[in-house]
Amino acid sequence: MGLLSFTLLILGLFQLVSAQQNTDPNEVAALRTLINYWNLGSKINLTIDPCNQNASWTSEDSNPRVACDCSSNICHITHLKIYALDIKGEIPKELFELKELMDLNLGQNVLNGSIPAEIGQLSKMQYLSLGINNLTGALPPELGNLTQLNSLSFSSNNFFGPLPKELGNLTSLQQLYIDSSGVSGAIPEEFANLKSLQILWASDNRLTGKLPEYFGTFTEFRDMRLQGASLEGPIPSSFSALTKLEDLRIGDLRGEASSLDFLDSQTSLSTLSLRNCRLSGQIPERIGKFTNLKYMDLSFNKLTGQIPTSFRGFSSLQFLYLGNNNLSGELTEDMITPELIALDVSFNPLSGNLPTQFAKTKSINVVGTSINANGLQDNKVSGMLNCIQGKTKCKNKGSSTSFSIKCGGTAQKSASGIEFDDDSEALGAAALYTSTDEQWAVSNAGNFISNPKGNRYVAMTDSQITETLESELYKTSRISPSSLRYYGLDLKNGKYSVELHFAEIEMEDSSYWKGLGRRLFDVYIQGEKVLEDFNIQKEAGGSKKALVKTFEANVTNTIMEIHFFWAGKGTCCIPYQSTYGPLVSAIHASQVSEAAGASSSRKHVGQIAGIVIGAVASVVILSSVFYLWWKKDPQGHMRIFTDSPRKPLK
């Protein structure tokens, strides 16, 4: 090779090396510190430049992922994803050396400590996900410096204190996920500036004050979820302007009553849940014209009047929940369309005949109504319905002094000799089942919206249950996304001891992100709330540990009601989607003393909610009893992203 050729070769190699740009050395040092701190050396080997185009961590599907902008003379790290890898510890200050970051996803880990105020230095951030971690402290107002944010998530953490008013500076924000984050107080007035919002998930927080009127100006809203957040009604009439809504879930409101008048032109709605919102008045006819609506839940309210005639042609509707209202009139056969999968109209003074073909093929719940349910597959169910509505006398009325149920499982005998009855019958999204001996019954209302076709009404485990000699008793449980009721039937009047058996068998006890879930629900016995925001795992000292809660209850009409109710609280999707709602393993109730005269103690019990109304009950009496019960207690008794959102919604 001649001298000239050799020189040209050397020059070519020099130009090739020069063309491979290098990452800012400060950013390389910061990234190296982060990798070492979070023990990710086996996944990102920085023996090569982190912005090397051929590195294994640069592709959009990589996890961890590092991506860069090399449009200038030096490369800068713009994307950092460390998702669901169970990294632990606090957020190191070195992270804030990556000042060109546009996308940071640290979701589904077990990070602790607070969000440092230095987060405000990352002013070019567009996507920030810190959801599902163990972060604490107050949210830093410096988050308001990230004015280019399109998506912000800090859901499922343990923050405290108010939402910073500075978040109102994020005028480009389209997606805000703050559910189960722990924040409290009023929603700041400065949030009125967030007019680009399309998604707001804020359920399961300690937010107070009224639903903001200015939400009605967020005309780009497509998905709004505000359940179990302690907010006050009424639902503002300004919400009528939210015509792009596809998913609206508001629940568990306090304060003033609301109406459905704001539902005007929301024809894009697919999911509408206004459960336990203190709704009053009638259901508007125009809702029957919402041709995209598949799921509607208006249960546990004060709605009156008849079911709209427009529902007779509701061809899109698949799940309809109207239970625990004061709806009257007839349920006509043509209101039950072929597309309807589940129907709950329980505890309403409704009448009519249940179509036989529907009763045999669909999931229904008409307990507490005057609907003729003779079309049900199980005649014993129809008999029980008539019995507890007072239409017919209960068979062997008042002959039993106990009942025991293995919730969600097969019959078994305990070490102490108690025979727990089989309760393994498959329940649907609106269902009623009675035991073969007619000693007890169970009803369910609700479905897991994000998993409507899954077998989600029984939880099971093969793990050993500790803190008990009856491990098998806790390996199956009934679960419900909304309302689960057990009825003891044909009981002698008197005082009873009620044992409720629990073990958390779905949520994990681990140091990983899958151990960060929280299940909360309420329990009523004979209409009185005996447990509020009950957390099995917390009270038992961990998951897969047995816990027995014992109460006293008075039976004055041969029937006992035990109601497990989800009030919109707890995480929704840890360790997997649709992990929430009531869970119970077994029930054992036994009489401790007979009734002593006409008066009975009210210390531990309230009136049963519209179930038993006397031997010659009528629709008028049923309505009155139901209304009085409602006035006493108005409650009456999908989400795991595989990555942070990539683009704003169109």
531 domain-assigned? yes
Same-domain check for residues 185 and 292? yes
* Alpha-carbon gap, residue 610 to 395, rounded angstroms: 20
Burial (CB < 10 A; 0-12, 13-18, 19+), residue 72, is exposed
Print the domain residue range for 522. 402-591
Q: Flag whether pLDDT at 164 surpasses 60.
A: yes
Same-domain check for residues 374 and 479? no
Average confidence (pLDDT) over 88-101: 96
Lowest mean pLDDT among 100-109, 359-368, 502-511, 552-561: 359-368
> What is the pLDDT confidence band of residue 209, given thresholds at 50, 70 and 90?
very high
544 domain-assigned? yes
Cα 326 to chain center, whole Å?
A: 26
Same-domain check for residues 437 and 557? yes
| Strand, helix or coil for residue 484 | strand
Same-domain check for residues 359 and 495? no
DSSP string over 396-452: TTT-BSEEEEEETS--EE-TT--EEEEE-PPP-SEEEEE-TTSSEEEEEE---TTST
What is the model's pTM? 0.88
Same-domain check for residues 362 and 407? no
Last residue of a domain, one of 389, 414, 433: 389
109 domain-assigned? yes
Same-domain check for residues 380 and 408? no
Q: Flag whether pLDDT at 432 surpasses 70.
A: yes
Structural element, H or E, at residue 388 = helix 379-388
Same-domain check for residues 228 and 362? yes
Same-domain check for residues 378 and 408? no
- 47, 19 contact by CB (below 8 A): no
Same-domain check for residues 383 and 406? no
- 317, 283 contact by CB (below 8 A): no
Q: pLDDT (tens digit, 9 = 90+) per residue, 289-346?
A: 999 999 999 999 999 999 999 998 888 999 999 999 999 999 887 888 888 999 999 9
620 domain-assigned? no
The per-residue pLDDT for 156 is 98
Half-sphere exposure of 573 (CA within 13 A, CB side): 18
647 domain-assigned? no
Same-domain check for residues 441 and 562? yes
Beta bridge partners of 273: 249, 297
Last residue of a domain, one of 567, 591, 615: 591
| Strand, helix or coil for residue 2 | coil
Same-domain check for residues 534 and 560? yes
32 domain-assigned? no
543: CATH? 2.60.120.430
* Alpha-carbon gap, residue 580 to 65, rounded angstroms: 31
Q: pLDDT (tens digit, 9 = 90+) per residue, 510-525?
A: 999 999 999 999 999 9
231 domain-assigned? yes
| Residue 546 φ/ψ, nearest 5 degrees | -70, 145
Last residue of a domain, one of 338, 362, 389: 389
Contacts 24+ apart (CB under 8 A), 528-534: 528/604, 528/605, 528/606, 529/633, 529/635, 529/637, 530/604, 533/567, 533/569
Structural element, H or E, at residue 185 = strand 184-186
606 domain-assigned? no
* Structural domains counted in the chain: 2
Rg (CA), the chain: 29
Percent of the chain that is helix, strand, coil (3-state, to 5): 20, 25, 55
Same-domain check for residues 323 and 375? yes
382: CATH? 3.80.10.10
